[in-house]
Amino acid sequence: MSHDQHDTPYLDAVLAYRRRGFTPFHTPGHKLGKGAPAKLREMLGETCLQVDLAMAGAVEDTRESTGLIRLAEEYAAEAWGAERCHFLVNGSTSGVHAMALTLAGPGETLIVPRNAHKSLLAALIYSGATPVYVEPQVDPVWGIPLNVSVAQATRAMRAHPEAKALIVTSPTYNGLAADLRALADVAHAAGVPFIVDQAWGPHLRFCPDLPVDAMTAGADACVVSTHKLISGITQSAVLLARGERLNLSRLESMVKMTQSTSPQVLMYASIDAARQQMATRGAELWREATLNAEWARERIRQIPGLRCLGREVLEAEGVAQFDPTRLTVSALDLGHSGTELETILRDDYAVAVEAADPLAIILNVTFGDSRNDLRVLVDALRDYAARYADTSGRREAAARWLRLRPPAFTRQVLTPREAFFAPSVPLPLAACVGRVSAEIVTPYPPGIPVLGPGEEVGDETVAYLTEAAAVHLKVHGPEDLSLRTLRVVA
Ligand SMILES: Cc1ncc(COP(=O)(O)O)c(C=O)c1O
């Protein structure tokens, strides 16, 4: 059945609940704001508190109801081209967990990209599956991971006919998209599902000017963060799937296992609204955003000392398409790391970026930005570059940032789960070479692990982590965040 994508069944039910004015004997304890402390009321406003519900209350008839939520999910499945959609309240992270638990367990293999988000490594610890990594190349100029190429995926599938699925991340944080159609063919020729972490692609389906989306390209499932680039509120996401090669009932059970039992009504309603907005106006909204982003890219590229990633990246291995609405800007030629540039933009120009790492900053451009917002950005960057045109004394620092390249994968000695739960000891970093890591180490951003549990710690990894500690890189995962020691399997 085809739905009218202008409708918002879930959002409407929430609004109706508020209009009716119930006397609430349900969660949360602030009782629709009446008992909330004044400052919280000031921050959230009456409206937000009046619809701050778990899905129980009077919006749904029972806690386990599948009626209204299922209906809203059907609208979303249709909009994103899937057979089944699940609304998620713990981001794409929880969708990645549900997918991994559906695909493979202990003793089974998954082909996964080395540039996977840390949620996938956590999922492997939960599930007990063994990863076979495909290592996308790292761009020599930008130091960013590229995409899994068709040749790499083909080689991995041939070498591991026992693999239960092929998983890739696309688009990447920097907007680089893999050749999803060809990768789907590779997986399907081997008779296994093709799974895409499309956290950064909630918009792709709705605008032909953007890279092809995973479901159109033939993926069997993908996760999409509706909070990242469209109007879902923070933490909202959807999991999309089709059932030809995936057990949809098992997937549903795994979604229930990985979600809160009190999903936020606000989050669900925002997914409903974001889906409606995209399905009915996505193409025009993103066309405008693309023009604005290209306008800014062109001008940033003309600023002496600044670089902005563009379509030239399509020449790199594995990169099939590029999302022009993601702006990756480097100030290394001015002797500043991305982190330093972020601080200057924030403190001196009140410009807030999406992410900053040693090499660059990332800026998201969406339909929420006007041409004037982009003018503010370009003017700030122009002024900044003029102020810091004299680079004396900063060149050496920039060279050091550039040396910080993610180490190559060594070998998987134990599964992530075996290593994670094995007896382990903290050792000084230098003494860890040749040992098996018991921890995940993830520089953040971009949230891509450089070392996972069960991996042999190589010279390159120790050199990288030593340098990372020296430049105070932010990491998630290890017990000792100063990176003086690392926990290895005893
Ligand atoms: C590629 C990728 N996958 C998954 C995630 C997790 O998404 P979420 O923050 O919605 O849980 C992220 C987050 O940045 C990501 O970059």
**Residue 422 in domain:** yes
Give me the pLDDT at residue 21, please.
Answer: 86
Give me the pLDDT at residue 405, please.
Answer: 81
Strand ranges for 162-316 from DSSP E: 166-169, 176-177, 194-197, 221-224, 237-241, 307-308
386 shares its domain with 252:
no
Contact 124, 97 (CB under 8 A): no
Q: How far is CA 468 from the centre of its chain?
A: 23
Give residue-wise pLDDT tens across range 414-427: 999 999 999 999 99
Q: How far, in Å, is the centroid of ligand 1 from the Cα of 121?
A: 12
Give me the pLDDT at residue 343, please.
Answer: 97
HSE-CB at 378 with a 13 A cutoff on CA atoms is 19
Q: How far, in Å, is the centroid of ligand 1 from the Cα of 364?
A: 14
Instruction: Look up residue 264 and give its two tokens.
Output: 């936020």
Contacts of 483 (CB under 8 A, 6+ apart): 429, 441, 465, 466, 468, 469, 475
**Residue 169 in domain:** yes
Q: Which of 125-129, 250-254, 441-445 has the lowest mean pLDDT?
A: 441-445
Task: Annotate 365-379 with DSSP letters as a single string.
Answer: --TT--HHHHHHHHH
Contact 228, 95 (CB under 8 A): no
**How long, in residues, is the chain?**
490
* pLDDT-based confidence at residue 66 (cuts at 50, 70, 90): low
Q: CATH no. for residue 252? A: 3.40.640.10
CA distance 315 to 321: 10
**Residue 135 in domain:** yes
HSE-CB at 196 with a 13 A cutoff on CA atoms is 33
Phi-psi region of 165 (alpha: psi -120 to 50; beta: other; left: phi over 0): beta
* pLDDT-based confidence at residue 59 (cuts at 50, 70, 90): low
Number of domains in the chain: 3
pLDDT, mean of residues 48-58? 75
Give residue-wise pLDDT tens across range 140-180: 888 899 999 999 999 999 999 999 999 999 999 999 999 99
**Residue 411 in domain:** no
464 shares its domain with 319:
no
**DSSP conformational letter for 235:** T
CA distance 210 to 229: 13
Q: How far, in Å, is the centroid of ligand 1 from the Cα of 389?
A: 36
H/E segment holding residue 20: helix 9-20
Rg (CA), the chain: 23
Closest ligand 1 atom to Cα of 96: 4
Candidates 92, 144, 198, 362: which one to mutate for ligand 1, based on the most atoms within 8 Å of Cβ? 92
pLDDT at 338 over 70: yes
Q: Estimate the share of the chain in helix, then strand, then coil, as percent rounded to the nearest 5.
A: 40, 15, 40
Residue 234 pairs in a beta bridge with none
Domain containing 163: what range?
9-278
H/E segment holding residue 328: strand 326-330
Contact 104, 112 (CB under 8 A): no
- Percentage above 70 pLDDT, the chain: 97
351 shares its domain with 446:
no
Q: At what angle do helices 118-127 and 91-103 cross, to 10 degrees?
A: 40
Domain boundary among 403, 436, 458: 403
Q: CATH no. for residue 397? A: 3.90.1150.10
Give residue-wise pLDDT tens across range 184-214: 999 999 999 999 999 999 999 999 999 999 9
Closest ligand 1 atom to Cα of 237: 10
149 three-state secondary structure: coil
Sign of the C-alpha dihedral, residues 59, 61, 63, 68?
negative
188 shares its domain with 47:
yes
- Residue 419's nearest CA partner among 383, 454, 465, 379 is 454
Q: How far, in Å, is the centroid of ligand 1 from the Cα of 354?
A: 13
Residue 134 pairs in a beta bridge with 113
Domain boundary among 403, 438, 471: 403
H/E segment holding residue 214: helix 214-217
Domain boundary among 364, 380, 403: 403
pLDDT at 65 over 60: no
Give me the pLDDT at residue 55, please.
Answer: 61
Q: CATH no. for residue 447? A: 3.90.100.10
What's the whole-model pTM score?
Answer: 0.96
287 shares its domain with 268:
no
- Mean pLDDT, the chain, whole residue set: 94
Q: How far, in Å, is the centroid of ligand 1 from the Cα of 94?
A: 9
Residue type, 433: V
389 shares its domain with 421:
no
Closest ligand 1 atom to Cα of 227: 10
**Residue 343 in domain:** yes
Closest ligand 1 atom to Cα of 93: 11
Instruction: Look up residue 464 and give its two tokens.
Output: 């990288």
Closest ligand 1 atom to Cα of 228: 10
Contact 130, 415 (CB under 8 A): yes
Which residue bears the tokens 């994103």? 80
Give me the pLDDT at residue 152, please.
Answer: 98
Which protein residues touch ligand 1 with a CB less than 6 Å away? 91-93, 96, 117, 119, 169, 173, 197, 199-200, 225, 237, 447
Residue 224 pairs in a beta bridge with 238
* pLDDT-based confidence at residue 63 (cuts at 50, 70, 90): very low
- Residue 305's nearest CA partner among 401, 387, 379, 389 is 389
94 shares its domain with 208:
yes
**Residue 347 in domain:** yes
**Residue 391 in domain:** yes
Which residue bears the tokens 């702006």? 327
321 shares its domain with 349:
yes
Q: Which residues of 153-175 are buried (b: 16+ CB within 10 A; e: fewer)?
A: bbebbeebeebbbbbbbbbbbbb
Give me the pLDDT at residue 60, please.
Answer: 62
Round to the nearest angstrom and report the end-to-end CA distance of the chain.
58
**Residue 257 in domain:** yes
CA distance 412 to 112: 13
181 shares its domain with 95:
yes
Candidates 88, 97, 119: which one to mutate for ligand 1, based on the most atoms within 8 Å of Cβ? 119
315 shares its domain with 186:
no
Give φ, ψ of 42 to 5 degrees.
-65, -40
47 shares its domain with 187:
yes
260 shares its domain with 144:
yes
pLDDT at 393 over 90: no
